[in-house]
């Protein structure tokens, strides 16, 4: 089993059971990881939608299945480098996407995302490995 970092959109698709069969097959037998940013984004998402008890239980069980990648000084430096390079080449990236990418880059892990366009520039210029 290898580790793959899930972008927030992939987590959402898993929680809502909306992955395609091809996507689910690709993720089968992978160990899931998420960045600290995804924890925050999903927490906000769950609170805004005022889920009921069963949905919150499913959400809590989801966290039992994933590794949470923490903030670190190396992630912060990588974030700053990636942000600066993107801005210099005229392609500034959203902060949260860049934090997620930095978590992947520091650890050499691939990112599973349904928003490939949002991360393609980071794959092309910074070596981010895209899983989908």
Cα–Cα nearest to 9, from 97, 85, 79: 97
pLDDT at residue 27, rounded to an integer: 97
Q: Which CATH class is domain 3-126?
A: alpha beta
The residue ranges of every structural domain in the chain are 3-126
Measuring CA to CA, how many Å separate 85 from each of 63, 78, 89, 117, 125? 33, 11, 6, 18, 9
pLDDT band at 118 (very low <50, low <70, confident <90, very high): very high
pLDDT of residue 37: 97
Task: Please check the confidence at residue 50 and state whether its pLDDT lies above 90.
Answer: no
- CA angle, 66 then 70 then 72, to 5°: 155
Structure tokens at 114: 């349904």
Sequence-separated (6 or more) residues with CB below 8 Å from residue 19: 10, 13, 27
Find tokens 């366009």 and name the residue.
117
High-pLDDT (> 90) share of the chain, %: 87
pLDDT at residue 106 in the model: 98
In 3D, which of 100, 130, 108 has the Cα closest to residue 40? 100
Q: Regarding predicted confidence, which is higher, 115 or 1?
A: 115
pLDDT bracket for residue 55 (50, 70, 90): confident
Distance separating alpha carbons of residues 38 and 68, to the nearest angstrom: 9
d(CA 46, CA 112): 21
Mean pLDDT of 63-75: 97
Structure tokens at 111: 């990112």
């Amino acid at each position: 089993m290898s580790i793959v970092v899930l972008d927030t959109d992939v987590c959402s698709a898993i929680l809502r059971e909306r992955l395609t069969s091809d996507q689910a097959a690709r993720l089968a037998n992978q160990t899931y990881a998420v960045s600290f940013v995804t924890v925050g984004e999903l927490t906000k998402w769950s609170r805004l939608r005022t889920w009921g008890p069963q949905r919150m239980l499913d959400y809590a069980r989801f966290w039992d299945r994933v590794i949470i990648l923490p903030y670190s000084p190396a992630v912060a430096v990588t974030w700053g480098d990636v942000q600066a390079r993107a801005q210099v080449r005229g392609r500034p990236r959203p902060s949260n996407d860049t934090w997620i990418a930095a978590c992947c880059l520091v650890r050499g892990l691939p990112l599973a995302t349904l928003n490939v366009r949002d991360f393609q520039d980071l794959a092309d210029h910074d070596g981010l490995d895209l899983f989908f």
